[in-house]
Structure 1
Amino acid sequence: MRRIVMLGGCLAMAAALSACGGDKKEENANANFSVKLNWLGSYKTGILDESAAEIPAYDAASQRLFVVNAEAGELDVLDMSDPAVPVKIGSINVSAIAAGAEVNSVAVQNGLVAIAVEADPKTDNGYVALYQAADLSLVNSIQVGAQPDMITFTPNGETVMTANEGEPSDDYSVDPEGSISLVDIRDLENLSVATADFAAFNAQADSLKASGVRIYGPNASVAQDLEPEYIAVSANSKTAWVTLQENNALAKVDVASATVTDILPLGEIDRSVEGFGIDASDDDEVINIRTWPGVVGQYQPDAIHAYQLAGKTLLVTANEGDARAWGEDNDLYWGEEADDEVDPPVLCEPDASQGFVEEFRVKHLVHASGFDRRCGDDLPPQLAALGEGALLDPTVFGYCGAVAGDPGDCREDDVLGRLNITWTVGYKTGGNGDPVMYTDAGVEDAAGTHIMYDKLYSYGGRSFSIWDEDGNQIFDSGDAIEQFLASDDCKLGTDRAIPCADYFNSGHDEGDAMDSRSDAKGPEPEGLTIGRIQGDTFLFLGLERMGGILVYNITDPREPEFEDYLNSRNTWDVDPEAGNLDGYGDLGPEGLVFISGEDSPTGEPLLVVGHEVSGSTAVYEVQISKE
């Protein structure tokens, strides 16, 4: 395998974590011990790439694990009395709650299992269903908002909260409002629900956009455009924070009044700054982590968790990134490919009302021939409505050859050409928000036909961040994760023998696919959980695409300490296929749950991870070593 490493930021993991705010164990230790993961075993459904193991939740009293099996539309119930050999002992099916309903998420507290239930169609209101962990009996259920995607208990056990994502239908004909439901469970026989919605922000669209909140869906109000993803709750159960992933923001919620009190923009990542670079191409056959002037990242976190420090709440996010893509399989949206060689000519006539796709490669966006060449293929009609083509600002992108009217080498595959960005923002606008127009030669002209980009917005931070209660960033890991995966210190497999760099930024459903995700969101930090061990706070962070779990001591939020990385995928050289998963290990970590030593069947802390691609639920021992 050809492997050339060109590291433009920190030169090794120790240097990367130190220079980017990381490993300073010797000079500023958080603890006199370290932790390391040891793979114990897994429960395997044997179902490939059908989300047969997503979100796990654990009940200590019954020693049962509850795992979302989206493929079956139910919860798998696993006996965890021997963590090395989890055994399926039952399931919970929610078909009695609503016809065609699906399980999206699960949480467990004090012997009560709470399930987020998505309706059919997903744009209808969903449900919260409550079951007893000990005997799997249904306790009660209640209707909540559209598409409850994540569910959690408040720490005081009085409320169950759901993040109701409210995604539109595939053709964008129905777009429900996003919301957060708060179910009062103090009287299980008489549940009540309150809704924290975003209606009060509908009149603030302009100010929200100006602050950096992405409001961009077609013909959507603010309430329709905001899509709650994941919830963290303060230790006193008074405040919750909800990731608005596509919107690159957090919602702050007052629990008692069920009110969204603020929407907090998370800002941009300047990819021209050392320590915040990316590998931008999947087609150059090398690891090339470097800075890119004019390119910015959007944090767009998925999972979020809260922890306490000196009486204050801190928030940790996994900055995965996500693009809106609705109607991408609808030929009516794209239009039929034009053909002027036939009589009468076939015209490309896309229908913008049939969907909305914002992701586009740089090489397809900026081209001397304009947009028409891609009509009927992958040209979003909403982009075509902005102009006949797009240019790069030569004052920003001159470093890769852009001149007036010509992007030069910037659109080459081994430069920025393969990078996926959003076309919805980054082009020059006037005071009224409309695009400034240019001739195809790059001259500003009100009668021009081209728009001009001076920023290219990519997806995801490829990092984790720590924030304060008001959304102010305390720490971001920058490019340290990608730098580590490229380093000689990183090893893959349960025996830690395979060089990570040989399969750098691989996809979770691919084999021998080094660099294949660099054009998108890199390793894609998606899921995380937090655990307390001997008074210190540890972060367990799952990398969706590359796979594996990173462990950090985050007791000092300004100087997180790297502890370990374990990737339990053992086979990397061929594509995984249904029927040959036994030798692969675990692919595509989704949800994580930490089990303290006090609650663990073994008396030692454990980590459980649901892997959506391999359909396996893996159990790891968290080993503690004195230093």
Structure 2
Amino acid sequence: MHKWIVTTAAAAVLAALAGCKSDSSDDPAPAAPAPTPTPAPEVVTPDRINLSLIGRYSSGVFGESAAEIPAFDAANRQIFIVNAQKGAIDILDASNPAAPVLIKTLTVEDIAPGAVINSVAYRDGLIAVAIEADERTQPGYVGLYDATSHTLLDSAVVGSLPDMLTFTPDGQYILVANEGEPSDDYSVDPEGSISVIAVSDRTLGTVSSASFSSFNAREAQLRESGVRLYGPNASGAQDLEPEYIAVSADSTTAWVTLQENNALARVDVATATVTDVLPLGLKDHSQAGNGIDASDEDGVINIRTWPGVVGTYHPDSIASYTAGDQTYLVTANEGDARAWGEDNDLYWAGDASKGFVEEFRVKHLVHTGGFDRRAGEDLPPQLRALAAGALLDPSVFGYCGATAADPGDCRADDQLGRLNITWVDGYLKDSSGAPVLFDASGNQNAAGDRLMYSQLHAYGSRSFSIWDADGTLIWDSGDAIEQYLASDDCRLGSDRSIPCATYFNSGHDEGDAFDSRSDAKGPEPEGLALGKLGDKTFVFIGLERMGGIMVYDITDPRAPAFVDYFNSREDWILDPETNLAAAGDLGPEGLLFVPADASPTGEALLVVGNEVSGTTAIYEIEQITE
């Protein structure tokens, strides 16, 4: 419970009396007593915190992203939540957080017909929205609205597919991550960029673009450093795709996740310049504490280490904070595969011009019969152009039975066979980047037609990480998230009564789905928010697939501590699509911390948009001192 020192208005009364003169103009005015200092409210630092559900608004729409990114206006006590199904912002009255009510829907047809909203941010009576054009490869927009009247104040053109935006802490700029995704058949591939928009007098000023054009002659250098550049026929500027933005406390520097590229961009805000592209490296799943559950069909929880398997961090959300006068970055390492044209039959029939899909199961990659057995089903034509099949390096994968010519038990369903990986990385290459080829017997042979994989690159790292300002890894949660979900301590539901292990690694859109996500990205940490409570900094992390919010104390960036896990999904058995009202909250996407001094209840809150259930959940943060 918060403790506050109660103050009075005595000082103000004395000051007013001191300004009154005596009735006799000959008498000197009496000396005013010194004003009594007003004590500041006591700042309480909690020993621990707990989340509890206090309110929920439901759009009633399942699986259509009807609740994604939230923003909050403390003055009007309103929540703005991106409703992608409507392509709009739902405005909720949150005066009573126990019963938020939809009061209005804000559309952007007045800016661009057919456009949809991807992100929202609030500051000082202004709402900023990121707007994707009707054709996503075309330039998008930013709209600026009055937070009280909800009227349009100004708009500006930005880059292709503005996916996220934020105000700088000083309020002088809006920064926009323009992802620049390609068309579904990859025939059009816009450049990614970061727009820097000046804000003054409630209008949008100059729009500057921090582009990646200066990296176009440096693709080989970026690849060598570990940046993933692999889009077909793409320049560096086309292949780098900004996702999410964090800004330094002094508003001078921004860091932008380049999710598919497994990297960060560092941006000088004043000059709108990308100064660095920082590769994040790979997570070694052979190391103790970095295990994963790799199979969705073994019927058990099996979190273990896997030599030769690495994780690409692929962060989605990012936030920054200061500790010991240094800036640190926190990322939720969701993982993301490029899968363009996956619904196009012509692509799967072998027309590489119709898309690009990089995901493949290990069991299909290293089958002794080669790739052609998958033709017409899920064989990417770009992979088939490289080789007719693939092998596992026996010096790495001998532990699961691989020989030079045969993957052995490594491709079994209860081993690595079900794991989804990218075929783009991990095979042996020569100095020019071309594949080193082997024959079907596993002998290196220039006339061979087999790739040799010495690493298997899985998506995401099933963790959250803390990095320094140069993109150097300071701390990673390892396999702690999966381990906790498998433990007896973990409980589900708003009453915390359901054992997590019963529904370990469940999907967010299905009922009774034990272990269904283990072959993919596990619990899939995606969204995050930071909150300052007293002298401590906490991170709240949304697990997109398993659902729920992990809470860690990250005050010391080198020694974060687990604090809480809360999951307000209520029913884990019934199909949520047909039993949405009973389901609770599914698929947390965007998270927002509301400090106590801005909260309608006087207690700190966490607002979460859940894209699968279409619900906006409001959690109270109980601060406990012992």
When normalised by structure 1's length, the TM-score is: 0.92
Q: Aligned pair 1:210/2:209, yes or no?
A: no
Which of 59, 63, 69 aligns to 1:49? It is: 63
Q: Is the 2:155–2:204 Cα contact (8 Å) retained in structure 1?
A: no
Moved more, 308-317 or 46-55: 308-317
Q: Could you report, residue by residue, the CA deviation over 1:395-433 in whole angstroms, capped at 9, with x for unpaired residues?
A: 110110101111011001000000000000100011111
Q: Give the alignment of 1:245-256 within 5 angstroms.
A: 245-256=259-270
Deviation at 1:188, TM superposition (A): 3.5
- TM-aligned CA deviation for residue 33 of structure 1: 1.6
**1:387 maps to amino acid:** A
SS in 1 for 2:597: coil
Give the partner amino acid of 1:623: E
Give the distance between the partners of 1:77 and 1:32, measured in 2 at CA: 32
Equivalent residue runs for 1:272-287 within 5 Å: 272-287=286-301
The residue type paired with residue 68 of structure 1 is V
1:502 is paired with a residue whose SS is helix
Matched, 1:298 2:308: no
Provide Cα deviations, 1:275-325, integer angstroms capped at 9, x if missing partner: 001000001010000000000001000000001112221100000000000
CA RMSD of aligned residues (A): 0.9
Once the two structures are superposed, the pairs formed by residues 199-598 of structure 1 within 5 Å of their partners are 199-335=213-349, 350-578=350-578, 580-598=579-597
In the alignment, which residue of structure 1 is the partner of 2:18?
A: none
Structure 1: how far apart are the matches of 2:445 and 2:355? 31
* Equivalent pair of 2:45/2:533 in contact (CA under 8 Å): no
Which letter maps to 1:519? D
Indicate the SS of the match to 1:191: strand
What is the distance in 2 between the residues matched to 1:412 and 1:406?
Answer: 12
Which residue is equivalent to 1:148? 162
Letter aligned with residue 430 of structure 1: D
Equivalent residues of 2:165, 2:174 under 8 A apart: yes
TM-score (norm 2): 0.92
Which residue of structure 1 lines up, in the alignment, with residue 115 of structure 2?
101
Structure 2 counterpart of 1:518, one-letter code: S
Residues paired across the two proteins, number: 583
Larger radius of gyration: 2
For residues 183 and 308 of structure 1, what CA distance do their matches in structure 2 show? 25
For 2:261, what is the secondary structure of its paired residue? coil
**CA distance in 1: counterparts of 2:45 and 2:64, whole angstroms:** 41
* CA distance in 2 between partners of 1:520 and 1:543 (Å): 14
- Deviation of 1:535 after TM superposition, in Å, equals 2.0
Q: Which amino acid aligns with 1:511?
A: G
SS at match of 1:315: strand
**Deviation at 1:31?**
5.9
What is the one-letter code of the residue matched to 1:585?
G
Which residue in the other structure is 2:83 paired with? 69
Question: Structure 2: how far apart are the matches of 1:310 and 1:557?
Answer: 10
State the percentage of identical aligned residues.
65
Aligned counterpart for 1:169 among listed residues 178, 183, 194: 183
- Give the partner amino acid of 2:76: S
| Aligned counterpart, 1:60 | 74
Q: Report the counterpart of residue 83 of structure 1 in structure 2.
A: 97
Given the superposition, is the C-alpha separation of residues 137 and 473 from structure 1 closer, same or farther in structure 2, using an over 3 Å criterion?
same
Give, in whole Å, the separation in 1 of the partners of 2:609 and 2:594.
14
Relative contact order higher in (CA < 8 Å, ≥ 6 apart): 1
Specify the code of the residue in structure 1 equivalent to 2:603: E
Structure 1 distance, partners of 2:114, 2:216, is 32
2:210 alignment counterpart:
196
* Residue in structure 2 matched with residue 18 of structure 1 by the alignment: none
Cα distance, 1:187 vs structure 2: 4.0
Cα separation, 2, equivalents of 1:534 and 1:293: 43
Distance in 2 (alpha carbons) for counterparts of 1:210 and 1:617: 43
8 A Cα contact 2:132 2:160, kept in partner: yes
Tell me how far apart the structure 2 counterparts of residues 321 and 396 of structure 1 sit (CA, whole Å): 24
Deviation at 1:533, TM superposition (A): 0.6
* Other structure's SS at 2:386 match: coil
Structure 1 stretch displaced more, 184-193 or 378-387:
184-193
Q: Structure 1 residues 149 and 448, CA, compared in 2 at 3 Å: closer, same or farther?
A: same
219-228 vs 180-189, which deviates more? Answer: 180-189
Equivalent residue, structure 1, for 2:131: 117
Which residue in 1 is equivalent to 2:16?
Answer: none
Q: Whole-Å Cα distance in 2 between the matches of residues 133 and 156 of structure 1?
A: 18
Asked if structure 1 preserves the Cα contact closer than 8 Å seen for 2:182 and 2:188, the reply is: yes
